Structure 1
Amino acid sequence: MTLTKRSLTATAVLVAGILALGGCAATAEPNTGNAKVDLATMKDEFYKATDPSKSPAAANARTDAFVTTISKPGGVFLPGFYDNGWDGNAVQPIFASLVVIDDAGKPVADLADKWEVSDDDLTYTFHLRKGLTFSDGSPLTADDVAFTLTLLNDPQYAGGTDFSDIVIKGTDEYKNGSATSLSGIEVEDPQTIRITTEKPNPLALQTLGGQVISKAYYGKDYQKGQLDYLKALYGKPLGAGPYALDEYVEGQEIRYKANEHYYGGKPEVPRVIFKVVSSDSALQNFQNGDIDHGGFGSDPAVLKQLQGLGFANIRARVVPDIGAIWVNNKKPALASTEVRQALYYGLDRQQIVDAKYKGLGQVADVFAAPTQWSFTTEGVTKYAYDPKKAEKLLDDAGWKKGSDGVRQKDGQKLKLSYITTKDDDPIIPIAESTYTKIGIDFVPEVLDSNTAFDRLYNGDYDLAGFRTNGLSDPNDAVSEFGTDDPDINVSGYQNAEVTKLIKKGISTFDEKERQKIYTELYQKLSQDPPIVLIDYRKSLSAWNARIEGGDKYVTGSGDAALALAKLKIKN
């Protein structure tokens, strides 16, 4: 299960499979043991199909559709409004952006074929391609971009697109005053829009240049401060991406049809299907030809099985995300730095990583993925499993063991619930064992994804196992800890020094200066941890060799939809 409000793309919590996106690779032998691996230097791996003729008959008979997998979509198919990260995957084929960010973190033209940034880094001018339309044939112009940005800055908006560190000029007057528009948004002509911000921010380009929605379709009932009307349109999306929604069958699949009005030309593959497939059955579905592409977890044994099929192109990729246990800092027991440190020392994270990834994972100590340029462990506290240290920290914090072995303070027992979405989550047995030894009553709760997200965002949890979204900029993994907005900072963490460094990290475009800032920030976050980091991982994905361009799709990131539009099927 993957978080989506800002930093929380869907990948999986310590739980489900996913569309594997990102990273170029060189062929290499897999690590098949349980040795600790150095993901900071390890390269992605690619294994070319050895015998494409072994492609199963069911797949060969499917000449007009590409079938891939998705785990647990929630049905909210509107950019900026979904909570479930899988819905972020679901909207990618439907909606196009002004600019997308590739796996290397570089901007790629989409709806805008060019853009300029002013010398003071405050004003962004986007030039849209000529003749753009939405999938119903209606025109897409700069007015639609202006409406999209206005909607995402509405006073009632509480979704995951955050402009608080960018601030479009006139936002305060629009949200809190009588202004009917944001003064910083200027539509010069149907193909040109100029946006003036109040703060320099290296993330502004991708935030301002995000997915565009139709003003005529989504804005006809719009009134400032009243967004509930949009809920009726969540399942009826209209976008300008390469595909349009054809049918959503809850719990089964999402069907898409090629958008004949797509600016890049109607995609050659007429249909795309995102099939809801569990990680346990993905390999069988692929082997039988029921799917053309899928994510297959991080088990070296599965890699060997995939190689044995002959028709599979395989990517073993270092994933730019982090698995963690979110900690509710608003709970009295968890507000203590010492208690959160004890949660680290008292949990055998290496055992969890070994059980889950069998050599294709590593214990995480830094709020950055090993693939990111900011990644460094310099000066970072590394919490090796040390139950004695954990017990001392709990003792010092006033939590003393009772006659039943459970720690108590001021008449309250140290009982912590743990939210997950899968009953075979390896954290459950390991945490039950190691936390019980140090006096914590650990109580797992296995929930469906939607309930788990609701509990998380409503603050109704103690501990919760999630993965971050795919990370591109260093700010992605830490931004939530620098704001008081409860819709973003779901852990309720507060630390003035950390907040200052987070703000500083997005105040300059100089990468060397940002590296110094993030190095210090990672040190601070390790000393006063907001949550418990668990792992980095490599993930396996494979696609049938009859799918031309599958490598581009698998290694895509924000530009996955662009790659999807270029897929071809060999007959």
Structure 2
Amino acid sequence: MKKKKWVCLALSVMMVVSVILSGCGKKSDGGKTKEGKEAAGNELAGNPAAEAGNVLRYICTAPPGVFNGILYTATYDQYICDMVFNRLLNYDSETMDFKPELAESWEVDEENNTVTMHIRKGVQIHNDLGELTAEDVAFTLQMLCCPEYDGPRYSNFANIVGAAEYKSKTADTITGITLYTKAPEDPLDVVYSDEEEDPYKITLEFAPFTTSNLHAMTGYILPRAYYDVDSYDEFVALNLKPVGTGPMVFNQYVIDQYVELDKNENYWDGAPKLDKVIYQCVSDDARIATMQSGAADICEVRNVDEDLVQIDEMNFVTVDSVQGNTFAFIRFRMDQELMQDIRIRQALAYAFDRAGFVESYTGGRSTLTYAPAPKDAGAYPSEDEGMYPYDPDKAAELLDEAGWKLNESDGYRYKDGKKLTLNYTGISENKNDSMKTAVMIENYKAVGIELIATFYDWATYMDTVRTDDKTHIYGYAWSMSPDNYQNAVLFQKGSLLNDGQYDNPEYDTLLEEARVELDVDKSNELYKQCFHILNEDVPVIYMNDYTTPWVINNRVKNVIVSTFLPWTYNIKNIEIVQ
């Protein structure tokens, strides 16, 4: 039998990681020594946050409030999930190799397409709900595969043997999930093996196993003792009251104001150094002023020049910039009749001065991108760089060809008596969106297209772009994964992340081939072909990747900011100088 320990997986991406570290003075059994207190005092001299206590305050856009490890879609919600829940596997912050978290060890049997996980003993669930075992892992996977599940992550586990049949209600058991213990009185819909008694062991069988399956193991695990309720509606109702095994315990969410989390005194890896974390809901425009006043400790700058000018004047913060994992793009609703004409989509790409906007908005700290992948990834189609340059004449030519003729009297284009009007849906609290849309309106008017922009709060926006029958175009940003499939699935037919309803059988076929290909170079080449198809089809207008400046008050130590990992990654070890 071909069997090996899968401790590391070579990734085709380069990682930029910055760790902010410094000492906090000498300590004794009674706390800091006199020398330590003086050192801290000197370091915090003139710092408006010096008296804020052992509480970390992060400011950002209000989270939608889907604090569920398998249901969230917004990055803002993920920050909360990352502190409340644990993952089976995590990534090493420097190498991006897999490392143990809840799974203390694991084996991959490629010949038999199985992965066996050995769950860490002694992991306590919040609120005194007992110890986490392999059953909680099986429960989480069962929820992901249940017919009612409407979140975005079923595709990560759809190739578990029996998952598709369970999802479609043609089977009562997910035969590819095996627990090694006697079935309890209320068993899960999985296989219970009596060959050994080990409540911390679980085996997953895939058809076939892919590298994406290990990446999927970096998802969060939900404790059955809390989330195994009578109906799916009751399960969803727990979104605002999450319970996990992570380093922080959820306290409360005062909607649109703040989220409060407390340290987990019983955390399996040792209690966090922080007493609390407060996620403060602050608009983009108010972030810098909030940092300036000392009312916050950490924020992400949205690449606006004037923000960095103000930050330069603060002598009590550190600015740490990394290659962000987020890329921005403009998405077309392909189920709208106008968007089904590729000539209109191409014209929209040519008519928008993307490069000019990105240069002015980010001050040269960001560049255009041409795929949902990092530019140094093996799957990135570098040969596509430069497609659809700003060329209003080419845009006008394509619109003429599509039958949309310019009316000289009002400057707009008409076809069969109908004006070429497109509706853009954006996010009200996103400064990038409003500034970008203003340029788009001007650029598109120059070639005869009327663009009408409407902005909503985040939660309304997410619902509107999926269901509104008037939306043609909307702004979007995506946090890229080290797993190319998780980025490419944005455009796969049937994916819940395919909000734009893009449908190309050639793309889907190549994507599936890339997903199951275990040879990294071959897989990269297949993904590159997928991304080239997207550039030819134009279901999106790619904008830019981000160099993300993080502003961190100097009283805060041990924050890891990284391309692919959330700022909460090292939350257990973050500490406050007092």
Q: State the TM-score bracket (shorter-chain normalisation).
A: 0.7 to 0.9
Structure 1 residues 340, 165: CA separation in 2 closer, same or farther (over 3 Å shift)? farther
Where does residue 456 of structure 2 map in the other structure? 447
Does 2:140 match 1:135? Answer: no
Shift of 1:398: 2.2
Question: Which residue of 113, 116, 126 corresponds with 2:117?
Answer: 126
Identify which of structures 1 and 2 has the higher relative contact order when contacts are C-alpha pairs closer than 8 Å and 6+ apart.
Answer: 1
Question: Which residue of 554, 564, 568 corresponds with 2:571?
Answer: 564
Distance in 2, matches of 1:306 and 1:262, equals: 36
Where does residue 53 of structure 2 map in the other structure? 63
Distance in 2, matches of 1:453 and 1:318, equals: 26
Structure 1 residues 389, 52: CA separation in 2 closer, same or farther (over 3 Å shift)? farther
Shift of 1:416: 0.6
Where does residue 288 of structure 1 map in the other structure? 293
DSSP 3-state at the match of 1:254: strand
Where does residue 178 of structure 2 map in the other structure? 186
Does 2:284 match 1:274? Answer: no
Shift of 1:380: 5.1
Shift of 1:102: 4.7
Where does residue 413 of structure 2 map in the other structure? 407
Question: For 1:242-276, what per-residue CA distance to the aligned partner results, in whole angstroms no more than 9, with x for missing partners?
Answer: 00111111111111001122111111211111111
DSSP 3-state at the match of 1:320: strand
- What are the residue-to-residue correspondences of 1:167-206 with 2, within 5 Å? 167-177=159-169, 179-188=171-180, 189-206=198-215
The residue type equivalent to 1:500 in the other structure is: T
Question: Which residue of 78, 86, 98 corresponds with 1:88?
Answer: 78
Larger radius of gyration: 2
DSSP 3-state at the match of 1:361: coil
DSSP 3-state at the match of 1:321: strand
Structure 1 residues 365, 330: CA separation in 2 closer, same or farther (over 3 Å shift)? same
The residue type equivalent to 1:180 in the other structure is: D
DSSP 3-state at the match of 1:502: helix
Does 2:352 match 1:347? Answer: yes
Contact 1:483/1:489 (<8 A) preserved: yes
* Percent of residue pairs identical: 27
Distance in 1, matches of 2:19 and 2:84, equals: 32
Shift of 1:216: 1.7
Structure 1 residues 362, 206: CA separation in 2 closer, same or farther (over 3 Å shift)? same
Contact 1:54/1:310 (<8 A) preserved: no
Question: For 1:227-252, what per-residue CA distance to the aligned partner results, in whole angstroms no more than 9, with x for missing partners?
Answer: 11223211111101100111111111
Question: For 1:368-415, what per-residue CA distance to the aligned partner results, in whole angstroms no more than 9, with x for missing partners?
Answer: 232534334124561110011111111222222345332233443321
How many residues of Structure 1 are paired with residues of Structure 2 in the alignment?
Answer: 520
Where does residue 152 of structure 2 map in the other structure? 160
- TM-score normalised to the size of structure 1? 0.86
Shift of 1:152: 0.7
Structure 1 residues 347, 262: CA separation in 2 closer, same or farther (over 3 Å shift)? same
Where does residue 471 of structure 1 map in the other structure? 481
DSSP 3-state at the match of 2:502: coil
Does 2:482 match 1:482? Answer: no
- What are the residue-to-residue correspondences of 1:73-472 with 2, within 5 Å? 73-102=63-92, 105-120=96-111, 122-137=113-128, 138-163=130-155, 166-177=158-169, 179-188=171-180, 189-222=198-231, 227-379=232-384, 382-402=387-407, 404-422=410-428, 424=431, 425-458=434-467, 460=469, 461-472=471-482
Shift of 1:24: 2.0
Structure 1: unaligned runs, 5 residues or longer: 1-21, 28-50
DSSP 3-state at the match of 2:127: coil
The residue type equivalent to 1:435 in the other structure is: Y
More helix by share: 2
- TM-score normalised to the size of structure 2? 0.85
Shift of 1:158: 1.3
Contact 1:102/1:558 (<8 A) preserved: no
Contact 1:321/1:369 (<8 A) preserved: no
Distance in 2, matches of 1:509 and 1:305, equals: 48
DSSP 3-state at the match of 2:63: coil
Where does residue 188 of structure 2 map in the other structure? none
Contact 2:323/2:563 (<8 A) preserved: no
Distance in 2, matches of 1:25 and 1:267, equals: 21
DSSP 3-state at the match of 1:297: coil
Question: For 1:448-487, what per-residue CA distance to the aligned partner results, in whole angstroms no more than 9, with x for missing partners?
Answer: 11111001122542111111123322223321212234x3
Distance in 1, matches of 2:87 and 2:298, equals: 24
Shift of 1:505: 1.7
The residue type equivalent to 2:406 in the other structure is: K
